[in-house]
């Protein structure tokens, strides 16, 4: 089992990946650090775990899907 990681919008362009997988992590911020190899977080970074908004310190488990995206605005 692994953790599937997805990046959307400007994050996908900045990181150069739309998705990747990692073997293990304990929190969403760990997923960010491991999958991007960056420790600096973008301003107002949003995260969803299994299609539900979550906090960066939310726990993750094997088989989870973790998605990162910038703030979204409507028009």
The answer to whether position 8 is within a domain reads yes
Each residue's pLDDT, cut to its tens digit, for the chain (75 residues) gives 899 999 999 999 989 999 999 999 999 999 999 999 887 888 899 999 999 999 999 999 999 999 999 987 666
The answer to whether position 48 is within a domain reads yes
The answer to whether position 11 is within a domain reads yes
Give the CA distances from residue 2 to residues 23, 52, 58, 62, 65, in Å, rounded to whole numbers and listed in that order.
5, 19, 17, 5, 9
- For the entire predicted model, the pTM comes to 0.92
Exposed e or buried b per residue across 57-75, where buried means at least 16 C-beta atoms within 10 angstroms of its C-beta: ebebeeebebbbbbeeeee
Domain that holds residue 20: 3-69
Which CATH number belongs to the domain containing residue 65 in this structure?
A: 3.10.20.30
Q: How many domains does the chain have?
A: 1
List, in sequence order, the alpha helices (H) in the chain.
10-15, 28-36
The answer to whether position 28 is within a domain reads yes
């Amino acid at each position: 089992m692994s953790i599937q990681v997805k990046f959307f919008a400007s994050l996908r362009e900045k990181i150069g990946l739309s998705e990747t997988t990692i073997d293990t992590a304990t929190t969403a911020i760990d997923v960010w650090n491991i999958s991007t190899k960056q420790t600096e977080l973008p301003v107002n970074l949003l995260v969803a775990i299994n299609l539900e908004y979550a906090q960066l310190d939310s726990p993750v488990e094997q088989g989870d899907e973790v998605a990162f995206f910038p703030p979204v605005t409507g028009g």
